[in-house]
Amino acid sequence: MEITVAKMAGFCFGVKRALDITFDLAKNSQERIYTYGPLIHNPQVVENLKNEGVDTVDSLDSPDINTIIIRTHGVSPKVYVETSKMGYNVIDATCPFVKKAQKFTQELKEKGYQVIIIGDRHHPEVQGLIGFAGSDVVVVDDTDQLPPLKNKVGIIVQTTQAFETFERIVSHILRYTREVKIYNTICDSTSQRVGETKELAQKVDLMIIVGGKNSANTNQLAKLSKDVCAKVYHIETSDELDETWFHNVTNVGITGGASTPQWIIDAVEYKIKEISVRR
């Protein structure tokens, strides 16, 4: 069996940066540290962090918190106000690309645009952006969700959104609104990973997508691979690999989401090599 691992598989710049900040802090701290929500969408990494003294909290009013880390996805301005009121030591690990999207969102609001965010309304990054966007904000991930729009509309897109979705919704809006300001805030790491995954999935008989089941960008990789490859499996670790998947398979592609550690991708590759040798 020929096995190809995507070059872009695994941690992106923003995730690496957030993990470096957090592990450094944990190493030099005598107390437990808290992240507001899971630092990244990968349960295995979150478990490792726990062993190093880093816990996840979903609420800001825990009496145990002294130092709190804001994760890569960022938060709304009201969270900064609350953490400051509580007197917490705040370490901001928001990805600089998300920060940029937040800055553009605020600018659109201040200039009187109705802000449209293209993305998943339940994703923490989008929840944070909503806080910068003003009361008439609209969040959509398809054209049929668009309400009647104002005459002056500003568009922002979730950093991990598929370009095709962004393009489709923007073209639709352009038909109905006079003044439109568009920021393409999809990050380069996402575009490159998506492009490489599509290309690889077209060439192989079977694609293995490695990453958290709760990771939006990993789910996106699985979805777009299914469009061009007949056999696609999304797994979190090598334990989920099933030898029967590989019957009559000659070429296997492996990729991983932005929050998937290299050691998990390596373990998956190693196990598939073992299966290949046994055949």
Residue 9 neighbours by CB under 8 Å, 6+ apart: 193, 210, 254, 255, 256, 260, 265
Q: Which of residues 86-125 bind ligand SF4 (CB under 6 A)?
A: 95, 97-98
Question: Is residue 187 within the footprint of ligand SF4 (CB under 6 A)?
Answer: yes
Question: At closest approach, how far in Å is the CB of 31 from ligand SF4?
Answer: 27
> Per the residue annotation, which of 125, 196, 243, 269 is the catalytic one?
125
Q: Tell me which residue has its CB nearest to ligand SF4.
A: 14
- Is residue 156 involved in binding ligand SF4 (CB under 6 A)? no
What is the size of the binding site for ligand SF4 (CB under 6 A)? Answer: 14
Continuous segment of H or E residues that includes residue 209: strand 206-210
What Å distances lie between residue 134 and 40, 94, 131, 277, CA to CA? 27, 21, 7, 58
Q: Smallest gap, in angstroms, from Cβ of residue 12 to ligand SF4? A: 3
Which residue lies nearer to ligand SF4 by CB, 35 or 159? 159
User: How many CB atoms are closer than 10 A to CB 85?
Assistant: 9
Residues forming beta bridges with residue 99, ordered by sequence position: none
The least CB distance from residue 73 to ligand SF4, in Å, is 8
Q: Which two tokens stand for residue 50?
A: 């726990």
Q: Output 6 or 258, the one with its CB closest to ligand SF4.
A: 258
Helix H or strand E segment including 86: helix 77-86
| x/- map, 40-79, ligand SF4, by CB under 6 A | --------------------------------x-------
DSSP states along 61-78: T-TT-SEEEE-TT---HH
CA 115/CA 148 separation, integer angstroms: 13
Pick from 159, 161, 197, 219: which binds ligand SF4 (CB under 6 A)?
A: 159
**Binding map of ligand SF4 across residues 9-28, x = CB under 6 A, - = no contact:** ---xxxx-------------
Please report the sign of the dihedral spanned by the C-alpha atoms of residue 10, residue 15, residue 20, residue 26.
negative
Binding test (CB under 6 A) with ligand SF4, winner from 22, 35, 83, 160 = 160
- Report the C-alpha gap between 177 and 151 in whole angstroms: 6
- Among 76, 32, 20, residue whose Cα is nearest residue 56: 32
Is 236 annotated as catalytic? no
Residue 155 binds to ligand SF4 (criterion: CB under 6 A): no
Q: Would you please indicate which residues are annotated as catalytic (active-site) residues? A: 125
Q: Which residues bind ligand SF4 (CB under 6 A)?
A: 12-15, 72, 95, 97-98, 159-160, 187, 189-190, 258
